[in-house]
Amino acid sequence: MSVVAAFAVPHPPIILPEIGRGEERKIQKTIDAYRAAMKLAAGYHPETIVLTSPHTVMYADYFHVSPGGSAAGNFAEFGAPQVHVEVQYDTEFVSTLEACCRKAGVPAGIMGERNKKLDHATMVPLHFFSESGSSFRLVRIGLSGLSPQLHYRLGQCIAATAEKLKRRVVFIASGDLSHKLRDDGPYGFAPEGPEFDRITTEALGKGDFLKLLELDQDFCESAAECGLRSFWIMSGALDRKAIKSRLLSYEGPFGVGYGVAAFRVTGVDESRNFGDQFETDKEKELAGRREAEDPYVRLARRSLETYVKTGRYASLPENLPEEMKHTRAGAFVSLKKDGMLRGCVGTIEPTQSCVAEEILRNAVSAAVHDPRFDPVKPDELPQLIYSVDVLGKPEPVESSSQLNPKKYGVIVRSGGRCGLLLPDLAGVDTVKEQIAIAREKAGIGKDEAVSLERFQVVRHK
């Protein structure tokens, strides 16, 4: 056997009457669709349910698979300790999956468990499934900060494990959609929120998993999405499979998007190799970006690649624009890989003879001296996307009312400590958020007095 069906479902605890206490009726369409989906799931008589959860153990560079023979949990933190879920884990599936992932170069396994209890993103779908009375064993997997390709390959390993063990498997991708649908919602409103939900529900309804893989990560961060990585893994588990897809419901009255979708495997379809298609498209995109780089970005790339390959700083090329050779300014170099930040280092005030030298030095620092990341390795170089921010002169401001996170960067100072945040960053929508992040970067407490400065940038991509 193999993966016979998959379901994308949300996990709002309020959906349970013991927690919602009447409020759950506001998402009755979701409740009805959930029950229909889990009835369908039970109808496949799965021996194993593989469930991916955004709220179990999550690492930036590793997929955590829950170890042990069993686990349990309840909804005490939501005021309903009497709602209890217990599961038996499929230990044979887990060990076989670990071996498959090692062979495929996917960093996944049972190391690093921090909390054995079941999380609510696991318990909500299993609570609905339990209404069928069907027995099963569970494989619970956390998400990661790794690339869409690695999430997809994890899904492929799940399918390969099911085939090797001849298990009848149902895959449940637990994940809410955007958390920024309404001003009165728990996370406020961002225009990216409804747009993310529109694109995602349309893709789920059509089974267009390539669309999910290709979503821009800055856009997704601004939408404050929850379940996309679950859907990437599910997509890999359905690689090259013919499916019948249905969007059963969508609504978001509490400011968070809840979508329920079902996918029935009907056979083989080699054209649905979305992981391969995504990697081909990515290679073309990176090549196009490289061709279009302006002199600022091209110099940052030249500097970083020279240093990583040779251990020496590059020399300045002869054909630089005059402004780069004769202007002095602070500059930040940012690196991204697979849509995620890979390094960012810069200078507030000029420290070199010209902005070109500033970029030359800061590109290397972003690659090897950003304490948040390991140094960039040679095999990563083709995958990096660069941006260069040239800073205008900082100016003091009397209050936060003179700031604008889209237009101005901010500098926060207290004593000898200083924190800076660039403008127009994904997911930073308010002055309050901007100042809080700058404080955190500098190690300045939220109640400590600070002075504020603002600056503008010219961003080169």
Which pLDDT band, with edges at 50, 70 and 90, does 200 fall under? Answer: very high
Q: What's the average model confidence in pLDDT over 340-359? A: 94
Q: What's the average model confidence in pLDDT over 236-250? A: 98
**CB 132: neighbour CB atoms within 10 A?**
16
Q: Report the pLDDT value the prediction gives residue 284, as an integer from 0 to 100.
A: 94
Percent of the chain with pLDDT over 90: 92
Cα torsion 337, 339, 345, 350: sign: positive
| CATH 3.30.2350.10 for domain 293-386 | no
Which pLDDT band, with edges at 50, 70 and 90, does 133 fall under? Answer: confident
Q: Report the pLDDT value the prediction gives residue 408, as an integer from 0 to 100.
A: 95
Q: Report the pLDDT value the prediction gives residue 40, as an integer from 0 to 100.
A: 97
Between the alpha carbon of residue 152 and those of residues 10, 233, 267, the distances in Å are 20, 5, 19
Q: Report the pLDDT value the prediction gives residue 128, as an integer from 0 to 100.
A: 97
- Total residues found in the chain within this entry: 461
**Could you tell me which residues come within 8 angstroms of residue 27 by beta carbon, excluding any fewer than 6 positions away?**
12, 14, 15, 251, 253, 254, 258
Q: Which amino acid is at 346?
A: G
Q: Report the pLDDT value the prediction gives residue 370, as an integer from 0 to 100.
A: 94
Domain spanning 3-279, CATH class: alpha beta
The correct CATH number of 392-461 out of 3.40.980.10, 3.30.1490.150, 3.40.50.700, 3.40.190.10 is: 3.30.1490.150
d(CA 156, CA 171): 12
What digits encode the pLDDT tens for the residues 274-312?
999 999 999 999 999 999 999 999 999 999 999 999 999
What digits encode the pLDDT tens for the residues 90-128?
999 999 999 999 999 999 999 999 889 999 999 999 999
Q: Which of 14, 20, 98 is nearest to 64 (CA)?
A: 98
Q: Report the pLDDT value the prediction gives residue 364, as an integer from 0 to 100.
A: 97
Which tokens sit at 38? 């889990």
Q: Are 87 and 56 in contact, with CB atoms under 8 Å apart?
A: no
Q: At residue 446, does pLDDT exceed 80?
A: yes
Q: Report the pLDDT value the prediction gives residue 69, as an integer from 0 to 100.
A: 97
**Domain span(s) for CATH 3.30.1490.150 in the chain:** 392-461
d(CA 260, CA 450): 47
What digits encode the pLDDT tens for the residues 208-218?
999 999 999 98
Return the exposure string of 273-310: e unless at least 16 CB atoms fall within 10 Å of the residue's CB, then b: ebbeebbeebeeeeeeeeeebebbbbbbbbbbbbbbee
Mean pLDDT of the chain, nearest integer: 95
Q: Report the pLDDT value the prediction gives residue 447, as an integer from 0 to 100.
A: 85
Which pLDDT band, with edges at 50, 70 and 90, does 351 fall under? Answer: very high
Q: At residue 338, does pLDDT exceed 90?
A: no
Q: Are 195 and 224 in contact, with CB atoms under 8 Å apart?
A: no
- How many CA atoms are closer than 13 Å to the CA of 379, on its beta-carbon side? 0
**Domain span(s) for CATH 3.40.830.10 in the chain:** 3-279
Task: State which H helix or E strand residue 41 sits in.
Answer: helix 28-43
Which pLDDT band, with edges at 50, 70 and 90, does 416 fall under? Answer: confident
Q: Report the pLDDT value the prediction gives residue 193, as an integer from 0 to 100.
A: 97
Q: Report the pLDDT value the prediction gives residue 324, as an integer from 0 to 100.
A: 96
Q: Report the pLDDT value the prediction gives residue 406, as an integer from 0 to 100.
A: 92
Give the global pTM: 0.87
Percent of the chain with pLDDT over 70: 100
Q: Which of 366, 373, 369 is nearest to 388 (CA)?
A: 366
